[in-house]
Amino acid sequence: MNALRGKNRGQPGPAAEVIQRREVRMAVGRFLAAGFAALVLVATPVTFWIRDAAEQHALANARDFTQRLADNVVGPLITPRLLAREPAALEELDQRLAPWLANGGVTRIKVWDEYGTVVYSDVVSLIGQDFEQEEWAKLLLAGGPATATVESQTAEENAYEASSGELVEVYVRSAAKDGAPMIFETYSSGQAVRNEQHAVLLSMIPPVLLSLAVLQLVLLIPAVRLARRIQFHQAQRTALLRCAIEASDQERRQIASELHDDVIQNLSGLAYALESEERRGQPEQRQVFARARTMLQRNIRSLRAMTSELYPPDLEELGLRASIMRLEAPLVERGIAFTANIPENVALDRERAALVYRVAREALVNATKHSQATAVDIQLRQSGELTQITVSDDGRGFSAAAPRKEGHFGLRILKDTIQQAGGTLHIRTAPGRGTAVTATFGADAPPATRWVGRFPFLGPGKHTPAATR
């Protein structure tokens, strides 16, 4: 069976392949979502730009049309007789402009002289009225550019256009028959501009969106390749992590085996020899042999506890719960109360089970050697794909901001290892308030909670020396 395990190590099984494919699909999905968001962000300003450009184009056409109408039709008929408001001259201009007014291309026509007086309009009541000449009109008469806008008309001179909604208003410079400068003004329906805007948008938006979509699809191919390459490197990193864990466990087994088979056996034999000499030796030497035997037996117990800490159990054979419960022996040797809440069946793959065990072992070693704790507790919880183990003690704690002592790198190395495996390791501690080490796999670890009393997992003033299994 061990040979079979060794043969399959480093090779992803069907479940791992499914996870890998799912990760690639998720990465591609995120890329497509980001691309769609970019498409919307690009298309929105492009749409407004096209809309504005279409409006400007329609207004430019309105200016050109008004300028031609002013120069070729109206200007030659602005004669002294018309300026004198002779009915025949006004009737003649009405007849010439009737076709443009009848077909709906023009809604209103006004002609202004340089003093702000309306010299002609299709609304007879406006003829002869005076309005204050604004700055733009002075610039237009001086040779400035024609203007065109599309908006609702609310000015004083637009009493007859106020109820017509959105209109295109155009002002161009022209001249009477005798050369006097005139301002020619027309109003037309704004719907024509909006129709042109919509026509341009309908003709421009599809090719723009199609081009961006094609670009997105072209970029999708290297994105898929990149996602697969990243996933391949992650798989390699996981394999290297697995090899590192196995090498570390193998080294611990070898050291523990050498201690148990050689050093501890030899020291045990020496302890028996000292006990024999204590019994048969001279009376004045028995006390010396007794002290030596006691010191030796104490060291043997320490070495045996160290062996239990070093030797990693076979997690697949014993199970995670039984393996963690074996860590109780060194604590009992030192008089430390041990409590644990571990499910009978923990659903974890081999690598993560080994990391969970290492978290428990490293935290218990630190609690035993450095924290001066009198009680420790282990809580292992699973919820869906989330697995979390918390090891707490009621020791003296430490300041997280204080520099670590030289040689105390176990948890730091373990934290890097867990992060490489996609998990998190949080340490919550404070001077005099104990330490809690929490490792989380499958999701981010929860935020640190407040301490309750001195011992976070027992509550104020509670200590439970009995181990619960």
For 150-165, how does the pLDDT look when each residue is reduced to its tens digit (9 = 90+)? Answer: 877 766 566 666 666 7
CA distances 73 to 124, 186, 375, 455, 465, Å, are 19, 13, 105, 99, 110
Q: Long-range contacts of range 188-195, CB-CB < 8 Å, 24 or more positions apart? A: 188/62, 188/105, 188/106, 188/107, 189/104, 189/107, 189/164, 190/150, 190/151, 190/165, 190/166, 191/166, 192/58, 192/168, 193/55, 193/58, 193/59, 193/62, 193/150, 193/168, 194/166
Selected residue with higher pLDDT from 321 and 406: 321
Helices vs. strands in the chain: H and E counts, helices first: 13, 10
Assess whether the region 15-241 and the region 319-469 belong to the same CATH fold.
no
Residues 284-305 have a mean pLDDT of 80
Residues 124-153 have a mean pLDDT of 83
Q: Does 456 score more than 60 pLDDT? A: no
Selected residue with higher pLDDT from 425 and 457: 425
Q: Measure the CA–CA gap between 36 and 32, rounded to whole angstroms.
A: 6
Q: Tokens at residue 374, please?
A: 């009198």
Q: So what's the pLDDT on residue 339?
A: 92
Q: Does 7 score more than 50 pLDDT? A: no
Q: How confident is the model at residue 337 (pLDDT cuts 50, 70, 90)?
A: very high
Q: Long-range contacts of range 326-333, CB-CB < 8 Å, 24 or more positions apart? A: 327/360, 327/361, 327/364, 328/467, 329/305, 330/305, 330/306, 330/364, 330/368, 331/364, 331/368, 331/376, 333/301, 333/305
Q: What does the domain layout of the chain look like in residue ranges?
A: 15-241, 319-469
Q: How confident is the model at residue 74 (pLDDT cuts 50, 70, 90)?
A: confident
Q: Does 411 score more than 50 pLDDT? A: yes
Residues 374-387 have a mean pLDDT of 90
Q: So what's the pLDDT on residue 438?
A: 92
Residues 308-326 have a mean pLDDT of 75
Average pLDDT, the chain: 77
Q: Does 183 score more than 80 pLDDT? A: yes
Q: How confident is the model at residue 104 (pLDDT cuts 50, 70, 90)?
A: low
Considering the chain, what percentage of its residues have pLDDT values greater than 90?
6
Q: So what's the pLDDT on residue 465?
A: 35
Q: Measure the CA–CA gap between 289 and 278, rounded to whole angstroms.
A: 5
Q: Measure the CA–CA gap between 12 and 302, rounded to whole angstroms.
A: 41
Q: Does 26 score more than 60 pLDDT? A: yes
Q: How confident is the model at residue 70 (pLDDT cuts 50, 70, 90)?
A: confident
In terms of CATH architecture, what is 15-241? Answer: 2-Layer Sandwich (3.30)
Q: So what's the pLDDT on residue 405?
A: 55
Q: Tokens at residue 109, please?
A: 């026509």
Q: So what's the pLDDT on residue 392?
A: 92
pLDDT in tens, 39-60: 778 778 878 888 888 888 888 8
Q: Does 361 score more than 80 pLDDT? A: yes
Q: So what's the pLDDT on residue 455?
A: 39
pTM of the entire predicted model: 0.44
Considering the chain, what percentage of its residues have pLDDT values greater than 70?
81
Q: Does 377 score more than 90 pLDDT? A: yes
Q: So what's the pLDDT on residue 396?
A: 86
Highest CATH level, class, for 319-469: alpha beta
Q: Does 389 score more than 90 pLDDT? A: yes
Selected residue with higher pLDDT from 169 and 166: 169
Q: How confident is the model at residue 378 (pLDDT cuts 50, 70, 90)?
A: very high
